[in-house]
Amino acid sequence: MSVLRLSANQLLKKFRSKELSPVEVLDALILAFPDIDIRTNAFLDTDFDGAMVAAKTAEAQWAKGEPIGQLCGVPVSVKDSIEVAGMKTTYGSVVYRDNRQPDGLIAQRLRKSGAVIFGKTNLPEFALRSETANRLRDSGRNPWNLDRTCGGSSGGSAIAVATGLGPISIGTDSGGSIRGPSAQNGIFGFKPSFQRIPTVQTWRAAVGRSHNGPMTRTLADAVLMMNVIGGYDSRDPESLMPYAINSNLDSVNVKNLRIGVVNSEVAFAEGHDVMEALRLAHDLLKNNGVAVKFVDEPPAYSPLRSSQDTWPYGGDHLAASQAMLGDDFLEKHGSELTDYALKVYSDAVSLSAVDYRRAQIHDAKYRLKMADWLVENNIDILIMQCVPPAAIIDPLGRISDRDSNNLAMYNISRLPVASIPVGFFKESKMPMGLQVVGHYGQDGQVLGASEFFENEKMWNSDWPELV
């Protein structure tokens, strides 16, 4: 088996036994990188020199039997909206093509764990779309079919993990940006409870909605990463949660959970395959003695429009850029923005404080409604549809289909949600995912329920032919 097909936990085991070294793994990644990246447009920047220094340091520590942290020598990539010293942080925008920032908290914790950070992954401008298209690079392409989108906004991270360019990538999710691309590229993605992983860095646009999280091929790797980058930081007062995820999930027995499986029409393309997967999930649980039942869909989320019929959170994005580059950001840089980012920024100018506050109140009501729904239905875990199959990219780099609104509802409600890879759509032959949803703060239950499906083999372990 290629070293690029080993999970982080498998790599650590081989480092410990001295069957492999971190330098050998990074060498293999560097060798494979050009061919994969040129075809998929997965990355916006790399720092292989800095990564090699980190790999050699890790190798020396393993040789002494004194590994640094939980990820010593493991290659990791991060989405290019997360700030990392030694590489550009563009946020997917040509405006920031030369922007360099010191390590944000996530990068600091990765380095402390001994991880080898080698690259920044592609995303749409300011993470504003569900496909990876910007003015810095050609559209991100799905490794299962290069004519199709990799999704977004953490599209490049999904490509990296799906193709073996590092077993773990860190994404962000403010409207499904981890879960959508994870499902569409056949990997596991986890959006933790809001602020279990803190955000401390210069640029932050999706305040109150964005969740940082791991994208992996195995459940164990996701748990490992959560225990590296999760937990309270005094500089982020919203990050009140402890690490609190058992490294082996020993405390989570799926037979002690009450699980609901959505049993209703899935309206998007090839939805009948998703319905079949949901019924299979229900039967697997039932046959294993789990308390499971079919339930109706949870209450839908409808975003509030401003009095000018615009998105009321656009001001968060404009203000983040103004804080970095000045109040005249739009006048100076508007012509450099993509059409979709320009609309958000331009609309933001006319937004009022009342519009913004009304949107926050609207979303807080939905958050309570969603929490009440789980209690009223007497379930700990909900399993439901995720997104349609990855759509074909058109010549302008725009996709011909849109994701459903089954994703943003959980950013607003701030609940922990995993996207588990459950096989493929029959017609398009593209990867398919299901969402596993839990109560706020019960991230371990979500991961434990996800582990059940991994153990029961209802989990994609195939690799795209691109590898």
Active site residues: 79, 153, 177
CA 403 – CA 123 distance, rounded (Å): 16
SS3 assignment for 50-110? HHHHHHHHHHHHHHCCCCCCCCCCCEEEEECCCCCCCCECCCCCHHHCCCECCCCHHHHHH
Amino acid at 55: A
Supply the angle between the helices 48-63 and 22-40 in degrees, to the nearest 10: 150
Give the number of other Cβ atoms within 10 Å of residue 142's Cβ: 30
Nearest CA to 181 out of 141, 220, 138 is that of 141
Sign of CA dihedral 347, 349, 350, 356: positive
Instruction: Report the amino acid identity of residue 451.
Output: E
Which residue, 170, 185, 259, is CA-closest to 36? 185
Bridge partner list, 448: none
Of 402, 420, 391, nearest to 145 by C-alpha is 391
